[in-house]
A and B are shown apart, each in its own frame.
Chain A
Amino acid sequence: MSTVRPITASTTEPAWVRRLLIAAVLLLVMVMLILPLCAVFQQAFENGAAAYWAAIRDDDSVAAIKLTLLIAAIAVPLNLVFGVAAAWAITKFDFPLKNLLSTLIDLPFAVSPVISGLIFVLLFGRRGYFGPWLENHNIAIVFALPGMVLATVFVTFPFVARELIPVMQSLGRDEEQAAIVLGATGWQTFWRISLPNIRWGLLYAVILCNARAMGEFGAVSVVSGHVAGLNNTIPLQVELFYDDYNFSGAFALASVLAMLGVVTLILKKLIEWRTGIRADA
Chain B
Amino acid sequence: MTAVASPKTARTKTRSLRVIPGFGLSLGYTVFYLSIIVLIPLSTIFLKSAQIGLSGMWRIMSDPRVLAAFNLSFGSAFAAALTNVFAGVLIAWVLVRYRFPGVRLIDALIDLPFALPTSVAGISLAAVYANTGYLGRYLESGVIGLPALAGHHFALHFPPVKIAYTGHGVYIALLFIGLPFIVRTVQPVLEELGADVEEAAASLGASRWQTIVRVIFPMMLPALLTGFSLAFARGLGEYGSVIFISNNKPFEGEILPKLIIEKLEQFNYPGATTIGVLMLLASFALLLTVNVLQRWASRWQ
Contact = CB atoms under 8 A, between A and B. Distances in A.
Q: Do chains A and B touch in the complex (CB under 8 A)?
A: yes
B138 to A, nearest CB: 12
B280 A13 contact: no
A28 B117 contact: no
Interface in B220-238: 233, 236-238
Contact of B237 (A93, A112, A119, A262): A112
A196 interface: no
A105 B34 contact: yes
A217 B119 contact: yes
B142 interface: no
Contacts of A50: none
Interface stretch (A16-24, A55-63, A132-140, A197-205): A16-24
A245 to B, nearest CB: 12
Contacts of A218: 118, 239-240, 257
Interface in B230-258: 233, 236-240, 244, 257
B106 interface: yes
B245 to A, nearest CB: 10
Interface string A65-107: 0000000000000000110011011101101000001011111
B198 A11 contact: yes
Contact of A215 (B37, B95, B117, B244): B117
Contacts of B90: 21, 24-25, 28
B257 to A, nearest CB: 4
Contacts of B134: 35, 38-39
Tell me which of A42, A119, A221 has the highest count of chain B C-beta atoms within 10 A of its own C-beta: A119
A266 B198 CA distance: 34
Interface in A165-179: 173, 176-177
A118 B272 contact: yes
B213 interface: no
B267 interface: yes
Contact of B176 (A32, A121, A266): A32
A13 B212 CA distance: 11
A39 B20 contact: no
Tell me which of B31, B42, B233 has the highest count of chain A C-beta atoms within 10 A of its own C-beta: B42
Interface string B101-125: 0000010111111011111110111
Contacts of A22: 94, 98, 100
A221 B195 contact: no
Interface string A184-216: 011001100000000000000000000100111
Interface string A248-275: 0011001001101110111011000000
A34 B176 CA distance: 11
A120 B44 CA distance: 9
B124 to A, nearest CB: 4
A110 B288 CA distance: 10
B267 A113 contact: no
A222 interface: yes
Contacts of B211: 11
Interface residues of B, number: 86
B94 A21 contact: yes
B280 A115 contact: yes
A81 B34 CA distance: 12
B155 interface: no
A142 B174 CA distance: 29
B278 to A, nearest CB: 10
B157 interface: no
B44 A129 contact: yes
Contact of B27 (A42, A93, A268): A93
B187 interface: no
Contact of B44 (A31, A123, A176, A260): A123
Interface in A135-158: 150, 153-154, 157
A25 B269 CA distance: 45
B108 A258 contact: no
B301 to A, nearest CB: 15
A89 B26 contact: yes
Contacts of A119: 41-42, 44-45
B186 interface: no
B208 interface: yes
A4 B261 CA distance: 66
B189 to A, nearest CB: 16
Contacts of A107: 38, 42
Contacts of B19: 176-177, 180
B244 to A, nearest CB: 7
17 contacts: A11-B195, A13-B208, A35-B128, A39-B124, A42-B127, A82-B33, A82-B34, A89-B27, A110-B280, A128-B269, A154-B37, A186-B21, A215-B117, A221-B239, A238-B120, A264-B115, A268-B115
Given A11-B211, A39-B125, A126-B267, 8 more contacts: A22-B100, A25-B90, A36-B128, A128-B269, A186-B21, A217-B240, A222-B261, A261-B115
Interface of B: 18-23, 25-27, 29-31, 33-34, 37-39, 41-42, 44-45, 48, 87, 90-91, 93-95, 97-98, 100, 106, 108-113, 115-121, 123-125, 127-128, 133-135, 175-176, 179, 195, 198-199, 202-203, 208, 211, 233, 236-240, 244, 257, 260-261, 264, 267, 269, 272-273, 276, 279-280, 283-284, 286-287, 291
